[in-house]
Structure 1
Amino acid sequence: MAPMNYLAHLLLSPPDAAFRVGNLLPDLVHLPEQEKFTGRYREGIEMHRRIDAFTDAHPVTRRSRERLWPTYRRFSGIIVDIVYDHCLIERWRAYHPCSLSDFLDEVRSGLPPLEADLPETTYRHIRSITQWAGDYATLEGVSDAMKRVGSRLRRPVDFSGLYPELERHRQGFLDDFDCFFPQLLAATGIDAQAVQSAS
């Protein structure tokens, strides 16, 4: 699977391990498998869909994608997903009281009781997300992630020229994120103060 905005989905979840996992599952398993999950998993899956629907249709995220046209138009959605996780890390203290590493440690600590509920590869992938999501702290990390995506495609795509484009639009992406993310919180019914005080 391609790397997506996993960090945002984790942050925009209550501190409940099954809900958090559910909020990742649509990017990790096919729809028929998703339908097998109930309870808090199901609530997380539904939250993921609301987040994605709002994000994909928003004019600000479209503006972010257009910054990468025409060279990366086909992949601009994936790139912006990852870039927004980079922006979230840049703004992390505005949205969560703990450090990013402590937050990811806490997410990871809640996973073992869920292992039996998940396909083995999915469980391993989710654990790995909590270990490398912090790599998006730099635009080099974003670029490297896309290079890995490109190398795994059926027809490989060269993303070696992406980093200069990301650097050129760094401030624009941050401005877009600062406009968009509070609106996403409101649209998903999440109180920013609640997110900030979550532990």
Structure 2
Amino acid sequence: MNYLAHAYLSFNDQSLTVGNMIADYVKGKHWQEYAPGIQQGIQLHRAIDSFTDTHPVTLAARDYFQPSCGRYSAVFIDIVYDHFLATDTTIFTDQTLATFSQQTYATIARHHGILPPVFQQVFHYMRQHDWLYNYRLMDGIYKSFSGIVHRAKYLEAQTDAPFGVLEKHYEQLAAHYRTFFPELVAYVKTYPH
């Protein structure tokens, strides 16, 4: 899952939200340097990633991206899942997603001083370009895909390749999300924290 899902799956707990959002930027045992609630968010993020990455539905969804994106297919699926979450009318409307996004940015901003330096830079762009809300829009997904293609060291695909996969298999990928996401929510709700 990508940023929107990690924020959503913190269920409005501020410490969990911060930990969940910074987890990829906290290496080794440095997670132990944070307050207990943020530590729990970091651990929750890792549990969510593990559950997602090994789930049979996610593995099937990755197959669509595998030919053109290779090992980066997992990264593209994380963004695709965030798109379907952002457009999931059982969870968000246009207005509630906009509000949720701003509340999440405000929560992170209140903890700016403890954010890992690299995440501080990422957060600046995230908030400035409203990434969380823009997962709702195909243009936002295109920009996210472009960023990955631009930064990826071993990805030879052009931005149009993964975006083309999304467009071609949109309904199948949406069905994968609808099967997978409720199981992830149920898992997180039973996860100890």
Normalised by the shorter chain, which TM-score bucket?
0.7 to 0.9
Amino acid at match of 1:163: F
Q: Which runs of 4+ in 1 moved over 6 A?
A: none
Query: Contact 1:87 / 1:174 at 8 angstroms: preserved in 2?
Result: yes
Structure 1 pair 53–86 and aligned structure 2 pair: CA distance change class (3 A): same
Match of 2:56 among 55, 59, 71: 59
* Local SS of the residue matching 1:23: helix
The answer to which structure has the higher helix fraction is 2
Q: Could you tell me which residue of structure 1 aligns to residue 178 of structure 2?
A: 178
For 1:90-112, what per-residue CA distance to the aligned partner results, in whole angstroms no more than 9, with x for missing partners? 10x31257611111111122233
- Give the unaligned 5+ runs of structure 1: 191-199
CA distance in 2, matches of 1:119, 1:59: 33
In the TM superposition, 1:89-104 aligns within 5 A as: 89-91=86-88, 93-96=89-92, 99-104=96-101
Answer with 14-23 or 156-165: which moved more: 156-165
Structure 1 pair 154–62 and aligned structure 2 pair: CA distance change class (3 A): closer
Q: Does 1:19 align with 2:21?
A: no
Amino acid at match of 1:94: T
CA distance in 1, matches of 2:13, 2:141: 28
Q: Could you tell me which residue of structure 2 aligns to residue 136 of structure 1?
A: 135
For 1:148-177, what per-residue CA distance to the aligned partner results, in whole angstroms no more than 9, with x for missing partners? 222223456322322222111100111000
- Give the unaligned 5+ runs of structure 2: none
* Local SS of the residue matching 1:94: coil
Structure 1 pair 147–46 and aligned structure 2 pair: CA distance change class (3 A): same
Aligned length: 187
